[in-house]
Amino acid sequence: MNDRQALVFLPGLLCDARLWRDQARDLADLADPMIADLTLDDSVAAMARRVLAAAPPTFALAGLSMGGYVAFEILRQAPERVERLALLATSAAPDTPARAENRRRAMAALEVGRFLGVTQRMLPQLLHASRLDEPLGAEVKAMAARVGGPAFLRQQRAILGRPDSCPLLPSITMPTLVAVGDSDQLTPPAESRAIHEAISSSHLHVFEACGHLPAMERPQETTALLRAWLTEA
């Protein structure tokens, strides 16, 4: 009897398979990983439909940042297919007006200029200050460059148009991991605490000295958390 779990990973904005590379590799002894491509659609509904079309009948689901928004949409569309849920560095609430305006400005700047990806000036929003001069910063910039400008616009449109997922949270009953970096500037720890408090079946973990990308900043710790989550009874 095969007791291996299908495991679907959902990347964040301007992220590709590199985001979850270490976890997909290091959990392959107990799970069959699939890293979704979220660069092709301009709504979270379409992203979720594409993931569901490619995914096995049932699966564990892990999303980071924008990937969390898509995870919530998957739960709206096909909750019976999700056996476990991991939400990293994400929020259930829609953007504040100021945050939404910042997204629109970034989109407008790209439409009249060239795509700059993740610049050195933007890295402090993504990584902990202790890692800004490490090779990881170059990896994050290279990942954003691979995703590219057209996909960035599609993803930002999807994020701006996403529904409020806060009303969904009390209905989530599967084993749920909620995790966030203690220094996350884009989705501060309070956002994850709110998710955790609304999902009775959830466990909250805070990564120390970590920014917005724990899967890359704290890869071994992230893998250990997901391993425990996958094997939780």
- What pLDDT tens digit does each residue of the chain (233 aa) get? 357 899 999 999 999 999 999 999 999 999 999 999 999 999 999 999 999 999 999 999 999 999 999 999 999 999 999 999 999 999 999 998 888 898 898 888 777 667 777 777 788 889 998 888 889 999 999 999 999 999 999 999 999 999 999 999 999 999 999 999 999 999 999 999 999 999 999 999 999 999 999 999 999 999 999 999 999 87
pTM (2 d.p.): 0.94
d(CA 60, CA 221): 19
C-beta neighbour count of 92 within 10 angstroms: 20
Residue 41, SS3 per DSSP: coil
Taken in order 177, 188, 129, 144, is the CA torsion positive or negative? Answer: positive
For 17, counting Cβ atoms within 10 Å of its Cβ (0-12 exposed, 13-18 middle, 19+ buried), the class is middle
* Residue closest to 145 by CA, chosen among 11, 16, 10: 16
